[in-house]
Amino acid sequence: MKIQSIKEAPLYEIQAGSILSPKGFMAAGVCSGVREARNDLGILFSEVPAECAAVYTASHFQAAPLKVTQDSLSLENKLQAILVNSGCANACTGKQGLEDAYETRQWTAKAFGLPEHYVAVSSTGVIGEYLQMEKIKAGIQQLPPALHSQNAEPFETAILTTDTQTKKCAFQTKIDGQTVTMGGAAKGSGMIHPNMATMLAYITTDAAIASEHLQAALRLVTDQTFNQITVDGDTSTNDTVMVLASGLAGNQPLSPEHRDWPAFLFMLKKTSETLAKMIARDGEGATKLVEVEVSGAFNDEEARTAAKAVVGSNLVKTAVFGADANWGRIISAIGSANIMLNPNRIDIAIGNQKILEQSEVVCYSEKQLTDYFKGDTVKITVHLHTGDGCGRAWGCDLSYDYIKINASYRT
């Protein structure tokens, strides 16, 4: 399948920008008591009904909040509030979990004076446990007075689980001569292998765009960004990416026919890619970000498949952690991918050092490679010489701390 390429366009990164940088958005985060001494309940709020697009986990076991959110969007594809709790995924909780998710939606709608279908709910945390409903209810009452149009940090911290840091970004571009802004916030550290993973990402924009076109753009971008990260190969039950568009920037409504559509697509891709790389870099126990870029594949889809096979290989990940420049693990991972290739025509480079040309080893410095692997970012470049397909994937190394964190996740 040929995936539409997204061309670069002029883009400005807002330093210290956030999900609140676009016009029309507010947020809050509070500690409800589900998690002691830290924020665990957040709200993202739009001053106007915002056009919405969303993609969800490919897991057969979609958590209750996803079903409630899908129900909300089934009426108008518009939202004004997204309630997010951490500490409990409300997944695999049966009828009671679904009823609880609907009740939290009802409480949120009442607290903010909204129709229920303008509210979405998200949860992240331990699977198989029920929400602590009295604490959640009390926490929701704290949210309206805590709303802020500038400070997104309480919300950014409320959605975290084993993350070591918040994940945010913001960009601007010109559409119809108007400044259009996009911001994002995300969480994710472990159980990351999208189609999507225990990953929540929220993106806001003040662009004017109908939900149908926003949905098409998000699906295209997700395949090239969020679905190209992996930490540990496990797909979760709660993964969600949502985009809200307030339409307050003053541009003419965007569509694929709009002359500035490429600029909007590129901004959405850049926002998504930035958040995705932050998730990969912050993998549980990770010490390094690993980026794999594949070119010369039969098509873009096969390039992405090959890139993800390399970045997802436990043998590659442990070699990166140990600063062991064992390139044989890289070519083994490529060979295991379900793609077309000629095993006699593979090029591989690590950093700026070529390792293989036409599947023949070239002269390289083992010491320089080892030193390169000791840095905080490792880039692997592969050329398959099969076609013109290109793709990238991001992940992290696999350390001792990953075992420690996940061996005691509930304790």
Helix (H, G, I), strand (E, B) or coil at 209: strand
Contacts of 307 (CB under 8 A, 6+ apart): 228, 292, 293, 294, 382, 391, 392, 393
Q: How far is CA 36 from CA 30, 58, 155, 157, 397, in A?
A: 11, 32, 16, 13, 30
Give me the phi and psi of 302, to 5 degrees please.
-70, -30
Asked if residue 378 lies in contact with residue 320, where contact means CB atoms within 8 angstroms, the answer is: yes
**Catalytic annotation present for 166:** no
Give me the phi and psi of 329, to 5 degrees please.
-70, -30
Q: What's the rounded Cα separation, in Å, for the pair 408 and 397?
A: 20
Strand partners, 168: 185
Q: What's the rounded Cα separation, in Å, for the pair 281 and 278?
A: 5
Q: What's the rounded Cα separation, in Å, for the pair 139 and 84?
A: 11
Torsion of CA 332, 338, 339, 343, to 10 degrees: 30
How long, in residues, is the chain?
411
Q: What's the rounded Cα separation, in Å, for the pair 121 and 65?
A: 5
Q: What's the rounded Cα separation, in Å, for the pair 15 and 285?
A: 27
Choosing from 173, 198, 204, 240, the catalytic residue is 198
318 sits in the region (left: phi over 0; alpha: psi -120 to 50; else beta) called alpha
Instruction: Give the catalytic positions in this structure.
Output: 198
